[in-house]
Homo-oligomer: A and B are copies of this chain.
Amino acid sequence: MQVIDQGIGKIFTDPDADKAREFFRKKNRKLESKLMSVKEAVAKYVHDGDYLVLGGFGANRIPAAVAHEILRQGRKNMGFAGHTSTHDFQILCAGEVFNRCDAAYIVGLEARGLSPNARRYMESGKVEVSEWTNYSLSVRFKAAAAGVSYYPSRNIMGTDTFKYSGGKIVECPFTGTKYFANPALYPDVSAIHVHEADIYGNCRVRGITVSDFDVARASKHLIITCERLVTEEEIRRDPSFTVIPYWLVDAVCPVPYGSYPGNMYGEYFSDEEHLREWMKVEENPEAFKAFLDKNIYSSKDHFEYIEKNGGMHKMLKLREKEFLFLKARD
């Protein structure tokens, strides 16, 4: 195919669809329980050097428990998709977990400002970066979910975002229109937090799905954390609601309040107080180290972390915020 132009960014994962097929051919399709702890799931499916994706949207429906556990288990040299990655990005930067990054939205926490530590890490030269946009990363997942090696899109062209991407410019064979070719992104492992799952991994999500539908399908291994376990019967009662079917899933970890301190649609709002504290303490590397020790490294799991930050009282307050009984930024 005639390539009109191409970016200089690296492609950190292999877009080859036949190689992905060889992997998926061997993926387990048996209906068997995948219940395990987050600790077990990370030990089993997240390896040094793997390319990682975290679902949700930065501080909304994020697999926070998995991100903390990755730090506790000391994973290094990973690849990471910065696909509106905000608080999750902040966590991974704290552990210097990755050394290559597909950046669409990183280092910021939206209206909350920029993370000093994430900026330090990204300005250190320790991380190799290719640039994309949120939609282009979505399309890269969508192409992988469709089992192909690329999909075309109409964004990005003409900018430095293109120049530092790993994409190429091609022409439509029907209209001659130029397109940005997005290479498929098949992550080695992803973690997604959902509202409900059964022990086999059939999942339901409420509210926005962001790119998780495609991320789940594109990923070679998939760790699910869920607010609530439900029965298989409940899943089969109405199959219209299933977003992620069990054959995509490798681990199911029940983690109530698993998106904390992030927002979980219909469940609890984000803990803005804690997120502000996190941003603030990052300004002082020593204090930040102590903060991480307390909240992540010396906590044995997500529940201990929550306990240290207000426990069930805090959770009830965040639930009141979610339902607008309290203002979001209070």
Q: Smallest distance from the beta carbon of A160 to chain B beta carbons, Å? A: 20
In residues 153-208 of chain A, which contact B (Cβ within 8 Å)?
Answer: 153-154, 168, 170-177, 179, 181, 183, 205-207
Is A17 an interface position by the 8 A CB rule?
yes
Is A240 an interface position by the 8 A CB rule?
yes
Known: A1-B1, A2-B2, A240-B206. A11 touches B174 (CB 8 A): yes
As for how many copies of this chain the complex holds, the number is 2
- Across-interface contacts of A154 in B (CB, < 8 A): 17, 147-148
- Across-interface contacts of A6 in B (CB, < 8 A): 173
Is A273 an interface position by the 8 A CB rule?
no
Q: B3 touching A179 by the CB < 8 A rule?
A: no
Q: A172 touching B152 by the CB < 8 A rule?
A: no
CA gap between A160 and B2 in the complex, in Å: 26
CA gap between A15 and B179 in the complex, in Å: 14
CA gap between A173 and B7 in the complex, in Å: 12
CA gap between A179 and B172 in the complex, in Å: 13
> Which 4 pairs, one residue from A and one from B, show the smallest C-beta to C-beta distance?
A1-B171, A168-B173, A149-B172, A206-B240
In residues 1-52 of chain A, which contact B (Cβ within 8 Å)?
Answer: 1-3, 6, 11, 15-18
Is A238 an interface position by the 8 A CB rule?
yes
* Chain A residues touching B, range: 35 or more
14 inter-chain pairs at a CB distance below 8 angstroms, sorted by A residue, are A1-B170, A1-B172, A1-B173, A16-B175, A148-B152, A148-B153, A148-B172, A149-B172, A149-B174, A150-B152, A150-B173, A150-B174, A174-B181, A206-B240
- Across-interface contacts of A172 in B (CB, < 8 A): 1, 15, 148-150, 181
Q: B177 touching A173 by the CB < 8 A rule?
A: no
B-contact 0/1 string along A224-259, CB 8 Å cutoff:
000000000000001110000000000000000000
Is A297 an interface position by the 8 A CB rule?
no
Q: A174 touching B183 by the CB < 8 A rule?
A: yes
CA gap between A11 and B172 in the complex, in Å: 15
Is A303 an interface position by the 8 A CB rule?
no
CA gap between A173 and B165 in the complex, in Å: 14
Is A288 an interface position by the 8 A CB rule?
no
Residue of B nearest to A206 (CB): B240
Is A121 an interface position by the 8 A CB rule?
no
In residues 71-100 of chain A, which contact B (Cβ within 8 Å)?
Answer: none
